[in-house]
Amino acid sequence: MLADHQEYDVVVTAVTRAGIAVRADGHDGFIDRTEHPSWWSNTPRPAVGDRMRAVVLDATRTPPRFSALPSDIRTARSLRHTEPLTRLCPPPGRGRTVEWAAVEEALGTALPADYKRLVEWYGGGLFAGILWLLEPGCPDALYDLAAQTAEREEILTELWEAGEDKPPELHEDDVRLVPWGYVEGAGHFLYWLVRPDAEPEEWTVLLNEGRGPLWEAHPVSCSQFLLEVVAGTTTSFYFTGIDDIVDPEDRNRFIPNSQILHR
């Protein structure tokens, strides 16, 4: 059974004016011609027998629609953990509409597709009774994406100028941090390591402990990090003891900002 966002090694079985018929894991599929790199670049046109990596865009179509574009494959890898998260920790039932172009312009960077999906499905709020997802446009600056990006940049700059060691990942040129998560009480912040040579879906998650100079690096998306915290499979030192501090009924519950902040 094919599933959205899953990757497969596909074989071209036919080439038509509309696109490419493929075979993937025993199933037929189709790649519209605009979803193959040759439409956008000098990549050779597909031929019968070619093998390529492709991702399922829509498994409900007949035949299911695939894409072989590297950008779609990166996005799918990022989104792959959002749906398991919603099954384990259901959204509150009403999503958000966000003008992402304006948000990204204000931040000076694009944002990962899975983060956008989380905000649109959940909004900002508290996962697993402990981990706060920052959101754009939150009326409380402590939980607002843009406000915290500016504030944390200023705080960290002051700490490093005072002699605190930077994590090794920040010794690269032109990298920056953008916070996306916060643990109230402990004060831990979760950041994306924004690198100019990497797509947002490839960014590393960096955790900075709230009351000390230590950092953790996790080469996963924010949705995968959240899923592992909620599921209890995280390797983060700061969340492995979550069962000792979070009520069991809160582990699989999301509480939106609208409920917590009474807006």
156, amino acid identity: L
What pLDDT is stored for residue 29 in this prediction? 97
**Could you tell me the two tokens for 221?**
């998306």
What pLDDT is stored for residue 249 in this prediction? 79
Question: Cα(179)–Cα(168) distance, rounded to whole angstroms?
Answer: 18
pTM for this one? 0.84
DSSP code string of 33-101: GGGSGGGTSSPPPP-TT-EEEEEEEETTSSSPEEE--HHHHHHHHHHTTHHHHHHHS---S------HH
Question: Cα(260)–Cα(125) distance, rounded to whole angstroms?
Answer: 8
What pLDDT is stored for residue 244 in this prediction? 78
What pLDDT is stored for residue 212 in this prediction? 86
What pLDDT is stored for residue 123 in this prediction? 94
Model confidence at 173, in pLDDT bands (50, 70, 90)? Answer: confident
What pLDDT is stored for residue 262 in this prediction? 67
Average pLDDT over residues 183-203: 92
What pLDDT is stored for residue 80 in this prediction? 87
CB atoms near residue 252 (< 10 Å):
15
Q: For residue 251, is pLDDT > 90?
A: no
Higher pLDDT residue, 133 or 80? 133
pLDDT in tens, 208-235: 999 889 999 999 999 999 999 999 899 9
pLDDT in tens, 51-106: 999 999 999 999 999 999 998 998 888 888 998 999 999 998 777 899 999 999 99
pLDDT in tens, 108-121: 999 999 999 999 99
Higher pLDDT residue, 78 or 30? 30
What pLDDT is stored for residue 79 in this prediction? 84
What pLDDT is stored for residue 172 in this prediction? 84
pLDDT in tens, 31-66: 999 999 999 999 999 999 999 999 999 999 999 999
Contact of 231 with 243, CB cutoff 8 Å: no
pLDDT in tens, 156-165: 999 999 999 9
Q: For residue 263, is pLDDT > 60?
A: no
pLDDT > 90: what percent of the chain? 77
Locate the DSSP E strands across 119-256. 125-127, 131-133, 176-183, 188-194, 204-208, 215-218, 254-256
Per the prediction, the chain carries an average pLDDT of: 92
